[in-house]
Chains A and B, each alone.
Chain A
Amino acid sequence: MQRALREAAVLLLVAAALGFIYTAATEKGLFARRSTLPPRAAGLLAPVMVTRDQAQLYFESRRAVFIDARHEFDYKLGHIRGAVNIPLRMYETKKAVLDTIPKNWLLVAYCDGAECNSSIELSVKLAKDGYTDVKIFFDGWREWTAANLPSDKSP
């Protein structure tokens, strides 16, 4: 057992050294110069995160389309007023609802909140489909309702 622990310690130390050297040399992860959140889709403008205050400003300015990435069931229970529901898993079948929206309009994707990354994934898909101004309201529905901001229920 002692030998195994010694070997494990050596492996851990070497792995840590390699990990730090590699990420520092390639400026990735911990050593990235700027946040790589969210992933940049080939050649397209990467979606950016917005805070609740910014999301509220977009909402009040009426110049943004909110996209709810959650399941239809959750959407029906409550969603940001006027939001369109495109559950991530049904993106290909549901994205037709955006057909009337010009590609340069501001889209704000959201889902439950910090424990859900569907909004990031949805925004990447939207960017890949040519929407040039996609934002992610990462704190999502939880923050929106916590602040008692305008919402709707669907029958």
Chain B
Amino acid sequence: MKNLLANPQLVLVSRVFIGLMFIISSLDKIVDPSAFSRSVANYGLLLSWMPAIIATVLPWVELLCGFAVLFGVFLRGSSLLLSAMLAVFTLAVMSALLRGLDISCGCFTQDPTAGRMNWMKVLQNASLFALTMFIYFSQATRFTLSEYLMKSVNDHHDS
């Protein structure tokens, strides 16, 4: 497991996948926060004023964390945030499925005609959670902007 965590190529592939996925999934929510707010409210888990606040902030958290994971800046913080979000999403979807709610996920698109969520969504979220935790615990720092910047600073000091 330690070998996997230190494998720079594997970590890079995971970062690109998770980064791009969260960037793409944030766009529809940013463009139409009202629709996303409705999707959040449909879960019936929050007080009435909460979905609008979540719809204002959460898409931007996804976008920023997506870029941070992709480029390798604030890697620990962003992967931790994404893991926490995915854990909450997974629980919310499970709760909705167990209550038999007839709602769409609101995960990637706010198109009301998008398909209803099912247990595959729980599996998908759990897999993504595992991947973000993998990035969080990874020790490889190669191919990250942080490493590149540190290198530049050190080179500057040496010369």
B-binding residues in A (CB < 8 A) = 3-12, 14-16, 18-20, 22-23, 28-30, 32, 35-37, 39, 111-112, 114-118, 120-121, 124-125
Q: Is B121 an interface residue (CB 8 A)?
A: no
10 contacts between A and B (CB under 8 A): A3-B77, A11-B77, A15-B63, A16-B60, A19-B60, A37-B38, A39-B112, A115-B99, A115-B101, A124-B112
Please give the residue numbers on chain B whose beta carbons come within 8 Å of chain A beta carbons, in ascending order: 30, 32-38, 42, 44, 52-53, 55-61, 63-65, 68, 74, 76-78, 80-81, 99, 101-104, 112-113, 136
- A140 CB to nearest chain B CB (Å): 11
Q: Is the CB of B60 within 8 A of A18?
A: yes
In the complex, what residue of chain B is closest to A35 when comparing beta carbons?
Answer: B34
Q: Of B36, B60, B74, which contacts A10 at CB under 8 A?
A: B74
User: Distance in Å from the Cβ of B34 to the closest Cβ of chain A?
Assistant: 4
Pairwise interchain contact A29-B112, C-beta atoms closer than 8 A: no
| Chain B residues in 8 Å Cβ range of A6 | 77
Known: A4-B80, A10-B74, A115-B42. A19 touches B56 (CB 8 A): yes
**Closest CB in chain B relative to A7 CB, distance in Å:** 2
B123 to chain A, nearest CB (A): 23
Evaluate whether A22 and B30 lie within 8 angstroms (CB atoms) in the complex, with A8-B77, A30-B52, A121-B112 already known: yes
* B102/A116 in contact, CB under 8 A: yes
Query: Chain B interface secondary structure, helix, strand, loop or mixed?
Result: helix
- Give the nearest-CB partner of A120 in chain B: B112
A112's nearest neighbour on chain B, judged by CB, is B102
In the complex, A125 Cα to B111 Cα: how many Å?
A: 12
- Hey, which chain A residues are within 8 Å of B78, CB to CB? 7-8, 11
Collect the chain A residues with CB atoms within 8 Å of residue B59's CB: 19
- CB closest residue in chain A, given B31: A28
Residues of B within 8 A of A35 (CB): 34
Query: Are A15 and B60 in contact, with the CB atoms below 8 A?
Result: yes
Give A12 to B38 CA distance when docked, in angstroms.
22
Q: What is the CA–CA distance of A15 and B68 in the complex, to the nearest angstrom?
A: 12
Question: Which 9 A-B residue pairs are closest in the complex by CB-CB distance?
Answer: A7-B77, A29-B33, A4-B76, A15-B60, A8-B77, A121-B112, A7-B74, A15-B61, A19-B60
